[in-house]
Amino acid sequence: DTGVSQNPRHKITKRGQNVTFRCDPISEHNRLYWYRQTLGQGPEFLTYFQNEAQLEKSRLLSDRFSAERPKGSFSTLEIQRTEQGDSAMYLCASSFANYGYTFGSGTRLTVV
Binding site for another protein (CB under 8 A): 4, 31, 33, 35, 40-45, 48, 50, 55-56, 91, 93, 98-106, 108
CB nearer to another protein: give 42 or 70: 42
We find the least distance from the C-beta atom of residue 16 to another protein, in angstroms, to be 27
CA distance 100 to 21: 23
Tell the burial category of 48 from Cβ atoms under 10 Å away from its Cβ (0-12, 13-18, 19+): buried
Q: Which of 3/16 has CB closer to another protein?
A: 3
Helix (H) or strand (E) holding 33: strand 31-37
Q: How far is the CB of 45 from another protein (least distance, A)?
A: 5
Nearer to another protein, 40 or 85 (CB): 40
State CA 66 to chain mean position distance: 10
Task: Report, in Å, the least distance between residue 5 CB and another protein.
Answer: 11
Q: How far is the CB of 14 from another protein (least distance, A)?
A: 23
Residue 60 DSSP code:
T
What does the alpha-carbon distance between residue 66 and residue 14 come to, in Å, rounded to a whole number?
A: 19
